[in-house]
């Protein structure tokens, strides 16, 4: 498809949006040259790469012919007299009824790609459903749609439908909403199970808009694919066949992901016509402070130094950190500098999941209004939440993927202002890999987003929901499994009843309530402040991280203020906390036991084998460390008593026989240390190569029968723990055949183990490269993990390399 | 194939999170005694004769008749002298605008227009996976109160069940129910939508006695359940009643094991509910108005 490409001096003589600060060099914030100069001066030897992305001019296209004059007027009133080329291309696909995915950078005007066909359809009774992964994004798009509606007098009725929508408003939305803006969770639990109430929407459904497509990967993506299967069944019942419009941030395979989610061909639009301001990107590696240990200055101190410099020069700054804990620690450091005077309004704020919605809305509002100078966030702000324009974006640590890095860096420099993005490397292996190979980040294509729509547990969860929504008839399809086997299983469970060729739901239950799209198990924990007899809910924590953050004795932080967990009610899902003045934070110590249940494929070689198959995983939080602020010294331990977290999943493993170990190592202890170090490097490389996040994969060293598992003990050496958590003597074990596991960190597995097995040769080779070429002498957090304790015969680095060489000999 | 599928699931499921909510478990415990008593009362007969259609065998078991569309109809006539609890049905015939009471009795409606109705359903969860397999309606007809119940013996018979309900509706009907405005009527609307039929209840005036009871009995009864009104206002104590929450199991027992005993008990329960509505309405109408403010006006069902 080709369009007349117009540049900025086209017949309209103006750019698409007449914002005052658009596309003009004068718009560069005054402090930016000063900041760049300062960073260049202080960053000698620390800036390991710098890239300047030039400003890019707009490419425009005319509106599609025949666009209703009222819509043209509405757009003109908003200052839009023409489209960007990618918008026109997407609109043409959508209006012709072809599913389409738009994958262009942040702030390229993606939303117009779907607003336009949706508005046109609404003028002839066609309705639309918008799905955003978060409520905040839904609010932003509602506002935009209502402004267009007002400007053109279109008489459009657009409304949000989410957990906050009151009962009376729900009736109005159901019967009168031309555009219903919601999220997957509401579609899953509120709309599809009650589809007859939504009959008017489904009967007239012309478009389904799914924004932030790249979010739907892994577990969430598998849920989403099944949710769309259910939506398709319901639409078919009402005789509707809506066109899907997907929008995605830059990922390697937007089209493949959209097609996997939808189960149908999707057209791709990825040639961006929007203009872009100049952007500088730096990779910053903190200086080495201990060459022997390969220790670098902490990324936190460097990140807060850069953020301080930027804020002082009047630049609006956003700092991304990779964990909630990091967010709170960084916020404290920045608040110590800028919010020392309690009488002044705060200039620095933290933003992360787990805060209450009102608090997040308040922070978003203040950011948009420019009333905050600096925000510190987790990935919560990575999504398209409208927070206005920012000048500087500091990433405290590599987010784990190329796509997420650009998504975060894209937060600076919306509306074409000159912008700066700095990635500050931590001492983690991925970060050091990126710092040493900046071309990996700056030159490479981003990752593939993968989903497994037929993950069996997820598929069965949604099959139950689908059977509740409409009876199944033989001959239907739902996923790749044989429908009759699955329904036979449900019949055996007594939740469906077969009559002739139809299966009817008969259970007295509402299956959607038992299925959460976002996490493994249900039940968020409430954090309740009981200071001074109060009982205020101050935060929510999801089930999967509760054991790691809310154990009794934990320091839990909100807006950098510490609370101490006094009591954890595990079954009631509540943590009771009181305010504290502790000068330390806490970090959980956990260990994992695996038992091999079945191997699918096995490759034997000299001295051992590699395999992948099914495993049973038990994770236990054994205790926690207390770590002092600023100095990071370990000032104590505490015990934790919580139920084990068990799951059944898939894994890749390597097992080495004892004779092979004898030949390579002088002691079991050295071999065990080698396994732990090798596991650390393999885990990081595997996450990099299979393009998933570190937490999607787990690692463990054990004996394969779960009689023992190995962890790094307080002295820095590997120790064995028995099933009940007690320590075992390494010498006393009759059989010593260590097995190194990389497992899919989701119940049932989401399809990571088989690709890991296929790539095992490369994983081992790259891990060996990482360890061998690391700048440290003994081993360090950038290769084999933190090295503790005194010097020993074999360095941790040599031990890990020894094991990696044994693994490399396997086929 | 199906065995290997079940094996795969069995390997995965023990490690998966369990979704049995605590209240459900507690409820099951509390009901165990009731269920045991029901088993003793009804024995364990297989109801379905070989070769008989589901409708014919269910009709035989319930002393009803099998009618068009493969559904079962049960009909009972109650003379006006019949007392339900300590309330004679005759009071219903005497209701008029002179006794507004809690109901703000509309002048233009005659007692014979009132259509008392109640459904028995596969659950209380709502949504498209819940259906009503038994419908009961009662109305004044000359010197009798006529109570008709329809049951579907199979899923395939649901359209006939909905058609039978439509056949009971007249242009001037006024629905009377207990919590029917938000539950039963919206359930019927959903089922009709799924069966692609017009909703026979749409647009009918609907008097929901739950709301009237809430006002009239505030402070007088421990709660606003029908059972409390029966004990406190109607002098009725049910014996050997099959609790309404066992309705889903009565239905699956019939579907899975062809046993109609619980359905018979449920039909009796459903009749008692409708009779209670028929005597509760005049009882509430007779309450002094001061107890009843604000009165509940008639509203159209959605």
Per-residue DSSP letters for A263-309? Answer: TS--EEE----S-B--EEEEEE-PPEEETTTTEE--HHHHHHHHHHH
Closest C-alpha to B15, from A457, A208, A480: A457
For chain B, say whether A236 makes contact (Cβ under 8 Å): no
User: Which residues are bridge partners to A722 per DSSP?
Assistant: A708
Which tokens sit at A203? 């009967």
* Residue in B with minimal Cα distance to A543: B17
> How far is it, in rounded angstroms, from Cα A81 to Cα A382?
30
Which tokens sit at B173? 């009907």
For chain B, say whether A172 makes contact (Cβ under 8 Å): no
Q: Tokens 């309900």 label which residue?
A: B165
Is B144 part of a structural domain of the chain?
Answer: yes
pLDDT (0 to 100) of residue B299: 47
Pairwise CB contact (< 8 Å): B155 & A193 = no
Residues of chain B in contact with residue A511, where contact means CB-CB under 8 angstroms, are 129
Q: Which A positions 189-218 lie with beta carbon below 8 A of chain B?
A: 193-197, 199
Give yes or no: residues A73 and A192 share one domain: yes
pLDDT (0 to 100) of residue A416: 63
For A438-468, the pLDDT digits (tens) are 876 776 556 667 778 888 888 999 999 999 9
Angle at which helices A110-122 and A135-152 cross, to 10°? 60
pLDDT (0 to 100) of residue A225: 96
Cβ-Cβ contacts under 8 Å for A577 (sequence gap 6 or more)? A527, A528, A529, A530, A531, A538, A556, A563, A564, A565, A566
- Within B113-225, where are the H helices? 158-168, 185-194, 209-216
pLDDT (0 to 100) of residue A13: 28
CATH number (domain holding residue B137): 3.30.420.10
Is B32 part of a structural domain of the chain?
Answer: no
Residues of chain B in contact with residue A468, where contact means CB-CB under 8 angstroms, are 127-129
Give yes or no: residues A179 and A312 share one domain: no
Give yes or no: residues A83 and A183 share one domain: yes
In contact, A616 and A597? CB cutoff 8 Å: yes
The domain boundary residue, chosen from A559, A582, A605: A582
Pairwise CB contact (< 8 Å): B9 & A460 = yes
For B170-216, the pLDDT digits (tens) are 999 999 999 998 899 999 999 999 999 999 999 998 989 998 888 77
pLDDT (0 to 100) of residue B297: 43
pLDDT (0 to 100) of residue A5: 35
The domain boundary residue, chosen from A235, A269, A303: A269
Backbone φ, ψ for residue A433 (5° rounding):
-60, -45
Is A753 part of a structural domain of the chain?
Answer: yes
Closest C-alpha to A740, from A669, A694, A788, A806: A806
Burial A507-521 (b: 16+ CB within 10 A, else e): bbbbbbbbbbbebbb
Residues of chain A in contact with residue B202, where contact means CB-CB under 8 angstroms, are none
Q: Tokens 């990071």 label which residue?
A: A632
Dihedral Cα A710, A711, A715, A716, nearest 10 deg? 100
Residue A572 burial by Cβ neighbours in a 10 Å radius (0-12, 13-18, 19+): exposed
Number of domains chain B contains: 1
* Residue in A with minimal Cα distance to B10: A489
Residue numbers of the domain that contains A537: 525-582
Residues of chain A in contact with residue B16, where contact means CB-CB under 8 angstroms, are 457, 647-648, 747-748
Is B265 part of a structural domain of the chain?
Answer: yes
- From the list B125, B155, B193, which residue is nearest A199 (CB)? B193
Residues of chain A in contact with residue B186, where contact means CB-CB under 8 angstroms, are 197
> How far is it, in rounded angstroms, from Cα B132 to Cα B118?
10
- From the list B194, B248, B255, which residue is nearest A508 (CB)? B248
Run of H or E including B174: strand B174-177
Is A443 part of a structural domain of the chain?
Answer: no
Give yes or no: residues A767 and A793 share one domain: yes
Interface predicted TM-score (ipTM) of this complex, two decimals: 0.86
Is the model's pLDDT at B95 over the cut of 90? no
Chain A interface disruption, residue of B5, B11, B25, B127, most A CBs within 10 A: B127
> How far is it, in rounded angstroms, from Cα A737 to Cα A704?
8
pLDDT (0 to 100) of residue A323: 77
Is the model's pLDDT at B279 over the cut of 90? yes
Counting DSSP H helices and E strands in chain A, the numbers are 24, 35
Is A726 part of a structural domain of the chain?
Answer: yes
Give yes or no: residues A355 and A481 share one domain: no
For A308-335, the pLDDT digits (tens) are 999 999 899 999 998 777 888 899 999 9
User: Which residues are bridge partners to B205 per DSSP?
Assistant: B300
Dihedral Cα A492, A497, A500, A502, nearest 10 deg? -110
User: What secondary structure letter does DSSP report for A332?
Assistant: H
Is B290 part of a structural domain of the chain?
Answer: yes
CA distances from A580 to A340, A540, A558 (A): 19, 19, 12
CATH number (domain holding residue A286): 3.40.50.300
pLDDT (0 to 100) of residue A748: 74
Own/partner long-range contacts of A9-12 (Cβ < 8 Å, ≥24 apart) = A10/A60, A10/A82, A12/A60, A12/A81, A12/A82
pLDDT (0 to 100) of residue A701: 93
Is A451 part of a structural domain of the chain?
Answer: no
Give yes or no: residues A488 and A402 share one domain: no
Count Cβ–Cβ pairs < 8 Å, chain A vs chain B.
Answer: 106
* Residue in A with minimal Cα distance to B199: A196
What length does chain B have? 302
For chain B, say whether A597 makes contact (Cβ under 8 Å): yes
Is the model's pLDDT at B81 over the cut of 50? yes
CA distances from B45 to A115, A334, B258 (A): 63, 77, 9
Three-state DSSP class for residue A543: helix
> How far is it, in rounded angstroms, from Cα B188 to Cα B211?
20
Is A519 part of a structural domain of the chain?
Answer: no
pLDDT (0 to 100) of residue A287: 87
Cβ-Cβ contacts under 8 Å for A16 (sequence gap 6 or more)? A58, A60, A79, A80, A81, A82, A83, A84, A109, A274
Is the model's pLDDT at B21 over the cut of 60? no
Mean pLDDT on B237-249: 86
* Residue in B with minimal Cα distance to A456: B9
Pairwise CB contact (< 8 Å): A507 & B123 = yes
Residue B81 burial by Cβ neighbours in a 10 Å radius (0-12, 13-18, 19+): exposed
For chain B, say whether A505 makes contact (Cβ under 8 Å): yes
Give yes or no: residues A49 and A64 share one domain: no
CA distances from A252 to A343, A444, A750, A753 (A): 49, 10, 19, 21
Is A467 part of a structural domain of the chain?
Answer: yes
Give yes or no: residues A396 and A422 share one domain: yes
For chain B, say whether A244 makes contact (Cβ under 8 Å): no
**DSSP percent split of chain A into helix, strand, coil, nearest 5:** 35, 25, 40
Residues of chain B in contact with residue A614, where contact means CB-CB under 8 angstroms, are 11
pLDDT (0 to 100) of residue A10: 27
Dihedral Cα B100, B104, B109, B113, nearest 10 deg? -90
pLDDT (0 to 100) of residue A136: 67
> How far is it, in rounded angstroms, from Cα A512 to Cα A195?
13
Closest C-alpha to B23, from A645, A469, A509: A509
> How far is it, in rounded angstroms, from Cα A228 to Cα A512?
14
Closest C-alpha to A614, from A705, A748, A452: A748
In contact, A763 and A775? CB cutoff 8 Å: no
Q: Whole-angstrom distance between the N-terminal and C-terminal Cα of chain A?
A: 48
Give yes or no: residues A250 and A321 share one domain: no
- From the list B2, B11, B155, which residue is nearest A648 (CB)? B11
Which tokens sit at A170? 């729900």
Is the model's pLDDT at B241 over the cut of 90? no
> How far is it, in rounded angstroms, from Cα A429 to Cα A763?
14
Give yes or no: residues A193 and A334 share one domain: no
Residues of chain A in contact with residue B55, where contact means CB-CB under 8 angstroms, are none
Give yes or no: residues A64 and A141 share one domain: yes
User: Which residues are bridge partners to A587 per DSSP?
Assistant: A625
Number of domains chain A contains: 5
pLDDT (0 to 100) of residue A435: 83
Residues of chain A in contact with residue B19, where contact means CB-CB under 8 angstroms, are 514, 522
Mean pLDDT on B259-282: 93
Q: Tokens 């941030």 label which residue?
A: A249
- Within 10 A of A571 (CB to CB), how many other CB atoms are there? 8
Is A12 part of a structural domain of the chain?
Answer: no
CA distances from B39 to B58, B153, B257, B292 (A): 19, 21, 14, 43
Pairwise CB contact (< 8 Å): B252 & A616 = no
Give yes or no: residues A350 and A292 share one domain: yes
Which segments of chain A have a pLDDT < 50? Answer: 1-27, 520-521
Is B30 part of a structural domain of the chain?
Answer: no
Residues of chain A in contact with residue B8, where contact means CB-CB under 8 angstroms, are 456
Is A99 part of a structural domain of the chain?
Answer: yes
Which tokens sit at A230? 């259910």
Chain B residues within 8 Å of chain A (Cβ atoms): 1-2, 5-6, 8-9, 11-17, 19, 122-129, 154-156, 186, 189-190, 193-194, 248, 251-252, 255-256, 302
């Amino acid at each position: 498809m080709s369009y007349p490409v117009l540049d900025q001096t086209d017949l309209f003589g103006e750019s698409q949006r007449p914002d005052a600060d658009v596309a003009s060099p004068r718009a560069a914030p005054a402090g930016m040259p000063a900041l760049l100069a300062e960073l260049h001066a202080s960053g000698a030897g620390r800036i390991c790469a710098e890239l300047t992305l030039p400003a890019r001019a707009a490419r425009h296209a005319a509106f599609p012919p025949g666009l209703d004059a009222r819509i043209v007027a509405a757009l003109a009133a908003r200052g839009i007299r023409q489209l960007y080329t990618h918008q026109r291309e997407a609109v043409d696909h959508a209006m012709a009824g072809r599913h389409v995915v738009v994958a262009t950078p942040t702030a390229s005007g993606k939303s117009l790609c779907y607003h336009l066909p949706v508005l046109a359809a609404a003028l002839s009774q066609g309705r639309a459903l918008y799905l955003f992964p978060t409520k905040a994004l839904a609010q932003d798009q509602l506002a935009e749609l209502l402004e267009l509606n007002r400007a053109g007098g279109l008489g459009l009725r657009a409304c949000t439908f989410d957990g906050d929508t009151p009962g009376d408003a729900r009736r109005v939305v159901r019967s009168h909403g031309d555009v219903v803006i919601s999220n997957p969770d509401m579609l899953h639990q509120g709309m599809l199970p009650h589809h007859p109430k939504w009959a008017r929407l489904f009967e007239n459904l012309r478009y389904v808009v799914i924004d932030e497509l790249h979010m739907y990967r892994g577990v969430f993506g598998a849920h989403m694919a099944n949710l769309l299967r259910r939506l398709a069944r319901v639409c078919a019942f009402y005789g509707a066949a809506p066109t899907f419009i997907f929008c995605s941030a830059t990922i390697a395979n937007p089209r493949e992901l959209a097609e996997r989610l939808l189960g149908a061909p999707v057209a791709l639009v990825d040639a961006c016509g929007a203009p872009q301001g100049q952007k500088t990107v730096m990779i910053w590696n903190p200086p080495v402070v201990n060459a022997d240990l390969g220790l670098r200055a902490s990324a936190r101190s460097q990140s807060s130094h850069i953020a301080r410099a930027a804020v002082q020069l009047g630049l609006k700054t956003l700092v991304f950190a990779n964990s909630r804990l990091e967010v709170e620690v960084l916020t404290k450091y920045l608040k110590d500098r800028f919010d020392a005077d309690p009488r002044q309004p705060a200039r620095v704020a933290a933003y992360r999941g787990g805060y209450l919605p009102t608090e997040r809305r308040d922070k978003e509002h203040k950011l948009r209004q420019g009333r905050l100078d600096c925000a510190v966030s987790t990935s919560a702000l990575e999504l398209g939440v409208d927070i206005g324009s920012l000048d500087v974006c500091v990433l405290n640590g590599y987010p784990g993927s190329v796509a997420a890095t650009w998504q975060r860096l894209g937060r600076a420099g919306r509306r074409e202002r000159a912008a700066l993005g700095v990635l500050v490397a931590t001492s983690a292996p991925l970060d050091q890999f990126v710092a040493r190979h900046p071309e990996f980040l700056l030159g490479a294509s981003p990752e593939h987003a993968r989903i497994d729509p037929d993950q069996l547990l997820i598929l069965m969860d949604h099959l139950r929901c689908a059977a509740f929504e409409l009876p199944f008839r033989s001959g239907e399809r739902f996923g790749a499994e044989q429908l009759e086997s699955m329904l036979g299983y449900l019949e055996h469970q007594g939740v469906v009843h077969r009559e002739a060729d139809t299966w009817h739901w008969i259970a007295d239950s509402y299956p959607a309530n038992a299925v959460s799209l976002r996490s493994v198990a249900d039940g968020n924990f409430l954090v309740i402040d009981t200071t001074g007899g109060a009982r205020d809910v101050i935060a929510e924590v999801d089930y999967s991280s509760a054991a790691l953050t809310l154990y009794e004795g934990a320091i839990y932080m909100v807006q950098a203020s510490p609370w101490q967990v006094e009591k954890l009610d595990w079954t009631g899902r509540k943590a009771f906390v009181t305010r504290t003045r502790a000068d330390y934070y806490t970090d959980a110590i956990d260990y994992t036991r695996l038992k091999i249940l079945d191997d699918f494929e096995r490759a034997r070689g000299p001295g051992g084998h590699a395999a992948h198959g099914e495993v049973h995983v038990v994770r236990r939080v054994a205790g926690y460390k207390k770590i002092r602020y600023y100095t990071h010294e370990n000032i104590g331990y505490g015990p934790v008593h919580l139920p084990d977290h068990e799951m059944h999943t898939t894994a890749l493993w390597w097992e080495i026989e004892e004779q092979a170990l004898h030949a390579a190592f002088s002691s079991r202890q050295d071999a065990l240390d080698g396994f732990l170090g090798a596991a650390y490097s393999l885990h990081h490389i595997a996450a990099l190569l299979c393009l998933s996040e570190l937490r999607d994969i787990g690692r463990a060293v054990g004996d394969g029968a779960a009689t023992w598992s190995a962890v790094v003990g307080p002295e820095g050496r590997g120790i064995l723990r028995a099933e009940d958590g007690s320590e075992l003597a390494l010498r006393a074990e009759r059989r010593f055949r260590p097995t190194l596991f990389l497992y899919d960190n989701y119940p049932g597995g989401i399809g990571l183990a088989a690709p890991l097995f296929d790539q095992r040769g490369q994983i081992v080779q790259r891990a060996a490269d990482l360890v061998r070429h690391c700048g440290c002498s003994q081993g360090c957090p950038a290769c084999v993990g933190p090295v503790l304790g005194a010097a020993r015969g074999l360095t941790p680095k040599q031990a890990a390399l020894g094991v990696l060489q044994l693994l490399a000999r396997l086929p | 194939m199906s065995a290997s599928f079940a094996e795969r699931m069995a390997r995965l499921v023990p490690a998966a999170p369990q979704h049995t909510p605590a209240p459900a478990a507690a409820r099951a415990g509390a009901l165990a005694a009731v269920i045991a008593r029901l088993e003793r009362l009804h024995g364990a007969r297989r109801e379905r004769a070989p070769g008989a259609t589901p409708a014919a065998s269910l009709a035989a078991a319930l002393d009803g008749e099998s009618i068009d569309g493969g559904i079962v109809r049960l009909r009972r006539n109650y003379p006006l002298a019949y007392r339900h609890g300590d309330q004679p049905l005759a009071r219903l015939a005497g209701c008029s605008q002179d006794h507004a009471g809690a109901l703000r009795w509309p002048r233009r409606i005659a007692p014979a227009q009132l259509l008392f109705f109640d459904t028995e359903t596969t659950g209380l969860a709502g949504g498209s996976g819940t259906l009503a397999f038994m419908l009961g309606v009662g109305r004044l007809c000359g010197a009798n109160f006529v109570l008709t119940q329809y049951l579907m013996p199979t899923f395939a018979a649901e359209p006939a069940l909905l058609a039978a309900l439509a056949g009971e509706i007249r242009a001037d009907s006024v629905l009377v129910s207990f919590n029917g405005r938000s539950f039963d009527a919206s359930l019927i609307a959903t089922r009709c939508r799924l069966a692609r039929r017009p909703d026979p209840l749409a647009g009918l005036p609907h008097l929901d006695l739950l709301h009237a009871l809430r006002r009239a009995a505030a402070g007088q009864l421990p709660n606003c359940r029908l059972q409390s009104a029966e004990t406190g206002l109607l002098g009725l104590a049910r014996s050997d009643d099959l609790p309404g929450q066992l309705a889903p199991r009565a239905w699956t027992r019939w579907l899975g094991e062809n046993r109609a005993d619980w359905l018979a008990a449920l039909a009796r329960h459903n009749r008692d509910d409708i009779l209670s509505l028929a005597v509760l309405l005049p009882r509430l109408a007779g309450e002094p108005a001061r107890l009843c403010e604000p009165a509940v006006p008639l509203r159209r069902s959605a």
